[in-house]
Structure 1
Amino acid sequence: MKWLSISIIILLLAGCSTSNKVERVEQPNSIIKYKKDTVEPTRFANLYPGKKTYPETCTEHCYQPSALVKCETPAENCQYIGEQVAMNLNTGFTFRWLGHASFYIESPDGNTLLIDPVSGQFDWPVNWAFRLSEGFNRKQGFWPSENEMTNIDAVLYSHIHYDHFNKDDIASIGPVAKYYVPLGFAEHFPNDGYSINEMTWFSSKVLGNLTINFVPAHHFSSRVWVPYIYEDNDTTLWGGWVLEHQGRRIFFAGDTGYSQHFKDIQQRYGDMDVCLMPIASYFNEENGDWYRYVHTTPEDALIAAQQLNCKVMIPWGYGNSSWKMGDHSSHSALLRLLNMHKKLGSNISLYILNEGETVAF
């Protein structure tokens, strides 16, 4: 009788769980690249591995103060105060920067999308272990309202690193939205009725009049389960996104180093109207070469934007709610961007957001 009761409870609990719907999106022109020495499980690789050369590198006076950036202390706790006017590109898209890599986007048809939404810093148990240590604690970023969260149509994740994907946030977003993620990502979701599209590079899905394209980035994937114990290690793919709507194109780079893939994306899809580009986390005194290998410097981002023929570039990765991974301070990357934009004579139009601000193009 006891075992019968236990069996009934197990069956009831199982009945409360709703299986996720996972679709692998792979098309004739898609690309997947694996590591040559891979062993089970299969591990992914970048399109253009190997030693890199960079067109431009700032070597001195990189972080000059700017009258356009008002800070409480040098390059720390800052606000951009420069006057700027949004270009009328007639894309119909609206962008709100939530902080670090997170964006809330509204399409011309009213579809609402979240890209790399992360409200906190880590999920359990890493958040618990990290708070017990002397590690850096990120300031809370901006988060959509409760009403906005209940009406999200699509959520896009670029890769599984904590500053781009937090498992705790999935529950708050819920299974009503459609999820677009890299290959191997679905196993990180709870089994609770989520609709998940696992994408290969250069694959696409349609949401109303919006085409969602997953594109390459030059990065990697890994995830700390508990301090110093890692899971994944390149078994989940990484990348960026191109959103297309009636001939208009929005590009989100994801975390990436500089490589040939930017030119490949432009050749595949054409010129970009708005580019959301990372400019931070490229510096580390002990592992400087590695950090830049997988993160663009501000000058790398400007050159990549040029190769994408971006009409407007919105930078991200710096800021008061950033992770400051290897950066000198919260806004050092922005100061370097403003400095290099002028030094290079770049014709890329910059639109600088403070966290929580919105702009329409």
Structure 2
Amino acid sequence: MAFVCTACTPVSKPEYPDSDHFAAAHFFNPEQPESQVGGLWAALNIFWDFTFNKPKDAAPSTSPRVLSLTRDALLALPDNQFVRLGHSTLLFKLNQRFWLTDPVFAERVSPISWAGPKRFHASPIELNDLPEIEAVIISHDHYDHLDKAAIAALAPKTKHFIVPLGVGELLQAWGVAASQVVELDWHESREIEGVRLTATPAQHFSGRSLTDKNARLWASWVIKTPAVSLFFSGDTGYFEGFKRIGERYGPFDVTFVETGAYDPRWADIHMLPEQSVQAHLDLGGRWMMPIHNGTFDLAMHAWTEPFERVLQAATDQGVTVTTPMMGEAVAILTPHRGSPWWCELTPKLAAELR
């Protein structure tokens, strides 16, 4: 099998003098500039665990069931709906147009095509079957959030790519027209067809190779229309910024909050489930939708654990959670609780979901 490297993209060093979280050719987290996941020894320990200490239940024994979608079914959806396609890939229907977050349809999330974390399930819909997309909204450049092949396939049917600073240059290197790209810093907004998209802070990092660490910004997103208010976390550790986002932009009808691929060793850049629930509360969310789980094996926990822990934490805190199947449509203003599609839960939590 031939070696195929998808990371070999030239990296320039643009400057962003107006950004207060950019210095010395790199973006940084103002509240916690240095990640705890640092240093060669820590990296080697994590690599050793991933290689030799993976729990057997980090991936499902069989592919989870998904609900298949067609273009016609999506076109027939009522307005103000969302569908989870996998991991952090969500399709929204707002103002009779479609909006897609962090599109990843690849078999693996890796700089090489034949190795790396492999998806647990097929996408509910093939890329070519998606309807015309008004905007693709990207949180950051990591492989499990930004799929080069998906961008190439989406470019002809997408009007806009809304991205954090620096990511636009990468998309243009991949063939996306400059006229399609809108780059935003934190707290900058763009209104498109009655939908206002605002980049908001997150506590994370970026990079697709050894040479471009933190060269591009990462962000969460506030998505608002006159009818609905949504928050999409991207990837982030828990930080005080959630409270400020809630105060400035909330409340939210639904928060789509990262809950998966976590570990206490890197909790500053990927929240633990209990922190995800607290972030939802800080934001002033009405319903919570856990994302960043159920599709790829990216940590040391059982693949079902994010659902179980977040549901228990939500029950303890009085938070209402929706857990739809992949491919299942949900009305934003009248969500349903979903079902424990990933496994049998304890009777208490199963009752909470019904």
Please classify the TM superposition score into its range, dividing by the shorter chain length: 0.7 to 0.9
Q: What residue in structure 1 maps to residue 325 of structure 2? A: 354
Structure 1: any 5+ residue segments left out of the alignment? 1-23, 53-72, 81-90, 225-229
Instruction: Please say if 1:139 is aligned against 2:120.
Output: yes
Structure 1 CA distance for aligned equivalents of residues 190 and 208 of structure 2: 27
Structure 1 CA distance for aligned equivalents of residues 300 and 84 of structure 2: 20
Structure 2: any 5+ residue segments left out of the alignment? 1-13, 36-56, 66-77, 333-354
Where do 1:174-253 residues align within 5 Å? 174-175=155-156, 176-189=158-171, 190-194=174-178, 195-224=180-209, 230-246=210-226, 248-253=228-233
Offset at residue 148 of structure 1 (A): 5.2
Kept in 1: contact 2:91–2:98 (CA 8 A): yes
Kept in 1: contact 2:200–2:245 (CA 8 A): yes
TM-score by length of 1: 0.71
Alpha-carbon deviations, 1:68-88, whole Å to 9, x = none?
A: xxxxx79845869xxxxxxxx
Where do 1:67-106 residues align within 5 Å? 76=60, 93-106=80-93
Structure 2 CA distance for aligned equivalents of residues 349 and 173 of structure 1: 34
Offset at residue 92 of structure 1 (A): 5.1
Q: What residue in structure 2 maps to residue 328 of structure 1? A: 301
Question: For 1:43, which of 12, 15, 26 is the aligned residue?
Answer: 26
More helix by share: 2
Kept in 2: contact 1:122–1:166 (CA 8 A): no
Q: Larger RCO: Structure 1 or Structure 2 (Cα < 8 Å, ≥ 6 residues apart)?
A: 1
Q: What residue in structure 2 maps to residue 34 of structure 1? A: 22
Kept in 2: contact 1:96–1:105 (CA 8 A): yes
Alpha carbons of structure 1 residues 346 and 99: separation in structure 2 relative to 1, 3 Å: same
Offset at residue 177 of structure 1 (A): 2.2
Offset at residue 329 of structure 1 (A): 2.1
Number of aligned positions between the proteins: 281
RMSD: 2.9
One-letter amino acid of the counterpart of residue 253, structure 1: S
Kept in 1: contact 2:97–2:134 (CA 8 A): yes
Q: Per the alignment, in what secondary structure is the counterpart of residue 335 of structure 1?
A: helix
Kept in 2: contact 1:121–1:162 (CA 8 A): no
Structure 2 CA distance for aligned equivalents of residues 257 and 295 of structure 1: 4
Where do 1:296-311 residues align within 5 Å? 296-311=271-286
Instruction: Please say if 1:160 is aligned against 2:141.
Output: yes
Q: Per the alignment, in what secondary structure is the counterpart of residue 214 of structure 1?
A: strand
Kept in 1: contact 2:64–2:121 (CA 8 A): no
Q: What residue in structure 1 maps to residue 10 of structure 2? A: none
Offset at residue 110 of structure 1 (A): 0.7
Runs of 4+ aligned residues of structure 1 deviating over 3 Å after TM superposition are 73-80, 121-125, 143-148
Alpha-carbon deviations, 1:8-64, whole Å to 9, x = none?
A: xxxxxxxxxxxxxxxx9x9xxx954124xx2xxx10011311689xxxxxxxxxxxx
Structure 1 CA distance for aligned equivalents of residues 201 and 259 of structure 2: 17
Offset at residue 242 of structure 1 (A): 0.6
Instruction: Please say if 1:274 is aligned against 2:258.
Output: no
Q: What residue in structure 2 maps to residue 17 of structure 1? A: none
TM-score by length of 2: 0.72
Structure 1 CA distance for aligned equivalents of residues 170 and 200 of structure 2: 21
